Chain A
Amino acid sequence: MVIYMLSDDKDIIVELSGITKYFPGVLALDKVDLNVRKGEVLALLGENGAGKSTLMRILYGMYRADEGKIKINGKVVNIESPKDAMQLGIGMIHQHFTLVPVHSVVENIVLGTITDQQRSFSIGETAKEIENLGETYGLKVDPRATVNQLPVEMQQRVEILKALYRGAKVLIMDEPTAVLTPQSTEMLFNFIRDFRRAGNSVIFISHKLNEVLEIADRIVVLRSGRVVGEMPREKATEQELARMMVGHELSGIKLKAENNVTLGKKEPVLRIENLKVKGSLGHWAVDSLQLEIYAGEIHGIAGVSGNGQDELAEALYGLRLVSEGSIFLKDLSLLNEQTRNIIDQGVGYIPADRHKEGLVLDMSVEENLVLKGFDVSPFSRKGILQENSIRRYATEVIESYAIKTPTPDTHVRYLSGGNQQKIVIAREIAVAKFLLIAVQPTRGLDIASTEYVHQSLLRARDEGKGVLLISTELSEILSLSDRISVIYRGRVLKTIDRRDVNIDEIGLLMMGVTTQQ
């Protein structure tokens, strides 16, 4: 552990001590101590699930800590809601904005600030106030514009103004640059500098090392709910930060099976060229992405979540519109094809959320097993379901995949998570003649079920299928992939053979650092 002690304590405005938070099944935060000083930008670094957002939500009153104390200006406080937090001068800019889209900027900003005692209220005066506030900090925005007509970076400004209007002295920003272009990022950073100069503080949550090194005064690294490092910016290096975030444990991870021998043939089953896909916020979630998947390999996509993985997977399956580029399954273009046709071409898809995307919980086990094949022979003939064929097939699959269910017509809702995922796996492997896309295939599963999923993916690979494994669990990627591509801001920064992998390099690439020193 690398802790640089900082001596002066007189300027501390926020002091979190011994914060512990338990969610069913996980210890999200384990006795975390964190101080924020007046006039500093504190960067909070960490992988997905490290506990950054949880910690900040506790400070902002959205969660309550199970243990620990919060002091503001040296006084112990009890923050029960965001309203309490705002009264104490703490504001938070969420990753997903909390604006009312059809209301004007002024209306959004004053929302919730008008008390019952206040008899009259002038939109015009408030609009002036907001304009003045915006001018002070270089955050110009038309107070009378309707929010849903503003571009993303403007909406973010409104969020910031909202916090400032409420008198925020400490501003928490949860990955504020995720949706911004480089130019808007620069403008945001200018604001942060101005804001700090006025004696205020910013807690800046990010995955991006270069940004952190540019803007932060002090950096705190979280991993698995603990503070694993703290240092002033001058002493921080990219390598050291990346290593702290990812941890040393991962370098010990071995492949679960030997690299596939057929890889030598290098027969691409999927070719993606120059792919551009828009995200739901209108930014380029996938940006000129290149990727090639060979038959008989597991190709891992490593990356911090929100770097275009979901959009890439959805675009490949015809669920999201591709703006530019090409996708070829062998010689066949899958570009903006209907999902039905992509399925028929032999592409399976294990979605990230089995409840929402993978299964119809109120349909039976057998119906879910044929969810993608019910309308072809032998499961139906001339539009009539062939119940006997379906039953026969389901019984077979239930046995070969050891799915624990009372009967084939039990609703999937009543099965355990592991058995539900087995249904998805069984169905998708049957569909995937050539390519299997697996997005977070072990999320929320216990150890035995995770192992089962991993073995199934390896088996699919050994049968000569190409497997695209998208996961934010680096350990999963490392233990299964034959090759690894690191995705950052919608681009593949580098594709590396598993045998040549250097964990530090992967860690740096995930944070967007490409130059290896």
Chain B
Amino acid sequence: MRNYRHILLTFFPVYSVIVGLFLSGIMMLFLGENPLVVYRDILLFAFRDIYNIADIFAKAVPLIFTGLAFGFAYRASLFNIGAQGQFYMGCLASVSCSLYLSFLPKPLLLSICLLSSLVLGGSWGSLIGYAKARFNANEFLLSLMSTYVAIAVMNFLIRGPLIESKGEYPQTDVIAQSAWIPQLISHTRLHIGLVLALLIAAMAYFILWKTTLGFKIRAVGMNRNAARFAGIDEKKIFITVFFISGAFAGLAGFTEVNGIQHMLVQGFNPLIGTEGIGIAILGNAHPFGIVLSALLFGALKVGGALAVQVSNISSSFLGIMEGFVMLSVIISYFIRQRIMIALEKKRLQEESKVENQ
């Protein structure tokens, strides 16, 4: 019985996706559209041809990274709301290396871009961890605010030192071909970054459950006090976790700049951090769950984008739909928490009844 309940709760976020789709379906009715038809179109378009299917995976790649960024920190009971900023830092590092080191051979250049985005994203994140360890600052607020700082830094660089040679728009030049991540399937947008994302997800899993570092992270995450009594230095964990978390988000910058856009545009992919939060919650903060939910969001994006072109629904409705799904996923997290507490209370009450008999 307990296991049965446990499994039901594990898939709780999945129900919330259905609720979100249902709610946006009601909205569509008000707009005079048949939601069933729209959803059918989304599904059909998403899987229409190899290009679209590949695009689902391509869209999922950065979401896997930002999902991992939130999920990994969450395992230590830390809230990294700032994946967006760490992503921008990764973008900046990667695009700068691509622009200035384009003379290097491709494998070396790509490795440098990868490393630089990882290090800059991670360092940006570890500042939050440091502030928490040193000053007991609230990491939720700090990470949230750090995104705005990152945006300001990016705007300054893109309008200044990194601006395109024409100097017209706030964007960089297109990076040299030697800095492009090779395609995985030719004539699609899917690139080798997918392999990197899957490897990183597997690595996150390995760190969390197979290493002593992961042991410490989980112990701090589940009972900070007991971890302290066991001699685990929580402050080091704060900094380390935020570095790793930020590095994951930074890597999304590398794959987006070098794999998809091949340049950096101001205000680019502005929702990727928020989407990562929803994806991490939907995936139960488990690396494999995060991969699957990132794919689901990828499919919604690809199918939705094409579906709005054939129906009368405006393209902004796609955002509304995504918002509904995201909102209900996040709300489901709190509802699930309440149910868990209620169940736990009931269990304790039953136990004390048995003990008193």
A357 touches B355 (CB 8 A): no
Residues of A within 8 A of B223 (CB): 356, 359-362
Interface residues of A in 351-377 (CB under 8 A from B): 351, 356-363, 367, 371-372, 374-375
Q: Which of A52-60, A87-95, A380-388, A487-495 contacts B (4 or more CB under 8 A)?
A: A380-388
- Point out the residue from B211, B218, B231, B232 that lies within 8 Å of A383, measured CB to CB: B211
Among A343, A374, A413, A414, chain B packs the most CB atoms within 10 A around the CB of: A374
**A372 to B230 Cα, complex, angstroms:** 5
A380-B212, A416-B351 known; A360-B229 Cβ under 8 A: no
Assess whether A24 is interfacial by the CB under 8 Å rule.
yes
A24-B352, A360-B223, A363-B219 known; A383-B213 Cβ under 8 A: yes
Residues of A within 8 A of B344 (CB): 413
The 8 A CB mask of B243-284 against A (1 = contact, 0 = none) is 000000000000000000000000000000000000000000
**Range of interface residues on B (Cβ < 8 Å):** 20 to 34
Q: Which residue of B lies closest to A362 (CB)?
A: B222
Assess whether A340 is interfacial by the CB under 8 Å rule.
yes
**A319 to B223 Cα, complex, angstroms:** 15
**A65 to B23 Cα, complex, angstroms:** 48
A356 touches B225 (CB 8 A): yes
B228 touches A363 (CB 8 A): no
Interface residues of B in 122-177 (CB under 8 A from A): none
**A319 to B243 Cα, complex, angstroms:** 26
B344 to chain A, nearest CB (A): 8
The 8 A CB mask of B47-77 against A (1 = contact, 0 = none) is 0000000000000000000000000000000
A358 touches B356 (CB 8 A): no
**A359 to B226 Cα, complex, angstroms:** 6
B233 to chain A, nearest CB (A): 7
A357 touches B229 (CB 8 A): yes
The 8 A CB mask of B187-216 against A (1 = contact, 0 = none) is 000000000000000000000001111111
Interface of B is mostly: helix
A393 to chain B, nearest CB (A): 15
Residues of B within 8 A of A383 (CB): 211-213
A24-B352, A371-B219 known; A385-B229 Cβ under 8 A: no
B356 touches A25 (CB 8 A): yes
B228 touches A319 (CB 8 A): yes
A357 touches B231 (CB 8 A): no
Residues of B within 8 A of A341 (CB): 231
**A269 to B236 Cα, complex, angstroms:** 32
Q: Which residue of A lies closest to B223 (CB)?
A: A360
Assess whether A434 is interfacial by the CB under 8 Å rule.
no
B355 touches A363 (CB 8 A): no
**A319 to B226 Cα, complex, angstroms:** 11
A385 touches B211 (CB 8 A): yes
Assess whether B227 is interfacial by the CB under 8 Å rule.
yes
- Point out the residue from A356, A372, A387, A416 that lies within 8 Å of B231, measured CB to CB: A372
Assess whether A425 is interfacial by the CB under 8 Å rule.
no
B226 touches A358 (CB 8 A): yes
- Point out the residue from B2, B213, B226, B233 that lies within 8 Å of A360, measured CB to CB: B226
Assess whether A195 is interfacial by the CB under 8 Å rule.
no
Residues of A within 8 A of B218 (CB): 360, 363
A-B contact pairs, 29 of them (CB 8 A): A24-B356, A25-B352, A25-B356, A317-B229, A319-B229, A338-B231, A339-B230, A343-B230, A343-B231, A351-B229, A356-B225, A356-B226, A358-B226, A358-B229, A360-B218, A360-B219, A360-B222, A360-B227, A361-B222, A367-B219, A371-B219, A371-B230, A375-B212, A380-B211, A383-B212, A384-B210, A384-B212, A385-B212, A385-B214
